[in-house]
Amino acid sequence: MSRFVVVVLFVLAGAQLPASAARELPDFAELADRQGAAVVNISTTQAVRQGRPGMPRLDEDDPMSDFFRRFMPRQPGGGPKLDPDNRSLGSGFIVSSDGYVLTNAHVVEGADEIVVKLSDKREFRARLMGADPRSDVALLKIEATALPKVSLGDPGKLRVGDWVLAIGSPFGFENSVTAGIVSAKGRSLPQENFVPFIQTDVAINPGNSGGPLFNLKGEVIGINSQIYSQTGGFMGLSFAIPIDVAMEVQSQLKAHGRVQRGRIGVVIQEVSRELAYSFRLDKPVGALVSAVEKGGPADKAGLEQGDIVLRFDGRQVGISGDLPRFVGSTRPGARVPVQVWRKGGQREMQVVVAELPDDRAKKPVLPMPRPEVAPNKLGIVVADPNQQQRRDGRLASGGVVVEALRSASARASEIQAGDAILAIINRGVRTDLRSADQFGRLVAALEPSQAVTLLVQRGDTQTFVPVRTLER
Query: What digits encode the pLDDT tens for the residues 3-44?
Result: 444 444 344 444 555 555 545 678 899 999 999 999 999 999
pLDDT surpasses 80 at 174: yes
Integer Cα distance of 137 and 126 in angstroms: 15
Integer Cα distance of 459 and 98 in angstroms: 52
What size, in residues, is the chain? Answer: 472
| pLDDT for residue 391 | 66
Distance (Å) of CA 14 to CA 22, 23, 271: 15, 18, 58
Yes or no: say if 116 and 126 are a contact pair by the CB < 8 Å rule. yes
Of the ranges 67-71, 240-244, 324-328, 381-385, which one carries the lowest mean pLDDT score?
Answer: 67-71
Mean pLDDT over the full length of the chain: 82
Give the containing element (helix H, strand E) for 243: helix 243-256
In angstroms, what is the C-alpha Rg of the chain? 27
**Amino acid symbol at 288:** L
Integer Cα distance of 219 and 306 in angstroms: 43
Q: How confident is the model at residue 444 (pLDDT cuts 50, 70, 90)?
A: confident
Q: How confident is the model at residue 451 (pLDDT cuts 50, 70, 90)?
A: confident
| pLDDT for residue 55 | 36
Residue in 378, 377, 366 with CA at minimum distance from that of residue 420: 366
pLDDT surpasses 80 at 293: yes
pLDDT above 90 as % of the chain: 51
Q: 347: left (phi > 0), else alpha (psi -120 to 50), else beta?
A: beta
Structure confidence by residue, pLDDT tens digits, 79-104: 444 344 556 789 999 999 999 999 99
At residue 45, the 3 state secondary structure works out as: strand
Higher pLDDT, residue 82 or 458 = 458
Over residues 231-258, the mean pLDDT reads: 89
Report the binding-site residues for substrate: 106, 136, 207-209
pLDDT surpasses 70 at 63: no
Over residues 266-290, the mean pLDDT reads: 92
Over residues 307-319, the mean pLDDT reads: 95
Find the Cα–Cα–Cα–Cα dihedral 444, 446, 450, 451, rounded to 10°: -90
Strands 315-316 and 85-96: unpaired
Yes or no: say if 435 and 457 are a contact pair by the CB < 8 Å rule. no
Distance (Å) of CA 443 to CA 130, 147, 378, 469: 55, 70, 7, 8
Residue in 278, 269, 367, 253 with CA at minimum distance from that of residue 309: 269
Integer Cα distance of 73 and 42 in angstroms: 12
pLDDT surpasses 50 at 364: no
Distance (Å) of CA 137 to CA 115, 240, 246: 17, 11, 6
Of the ranges 57-66, 265-274, 342-351, which one carries the lowest mean pLDDT score?
Answer: 57-66
| pLDDT for residue 73 | 44
Integer Cα distance of 110 and 53 in angstroms: 7
Distance of CA 327 to the CA centre of its chain: 15
First to last CA, the chain: 69
Over residues 114-119, the mean pLDDT reads: 94
The set of residues, in sequence order, having a beta carbon less than 8 Å from that of 352 and lying 6+ positions away, is 297, 300, 301, 333, 334, 335
Higher pLDDT, residue 153 or 390 = 153
Distance (Å) of CA 55 to CA 106, 110, 199, 213, 378: 7, 10, 21, 22, 44
Residue in 466, 101, 55, 145 with CA at minimum distance from that of residue 279: 466
Bridge partners, 137 (sequence order): 132
| pLDDT for residue 366 | 35
Q: How confident is the model at residue 187 (pLDDT cuts 50, 70, 90)?
A: confident
Instruction: State the sign of the Cα–Cα–Cα–Cα dihedral 388, 394, 399, 404.
Output: negative
pLDDT surpasses 80 at 349: yes
Integer Cα distance of 29 and 316 in angstroms: 40
Catalytic amino acids? 106, 136, 209
Spell out the domains of the chain, with CATH numbers in brackets: 152-256 (2.40.10.10), 262-355 (2.30.42.10), 380-469 (2.30.42.10)
Residue in 180, 138, 132 with CA at minimum distance from that of residue 160: 180
At residue 115, the 3 state secondary structure works out as: strand
Residue in 82, 192, 76, 98 with CA at minimum distance from that of residue 143: 98
Integer Cα distance of 164 and 325 in angstroms: 25
pLDDT surpasses 50 at 254: yes
pLDDT surpasses 50 at 328: yes
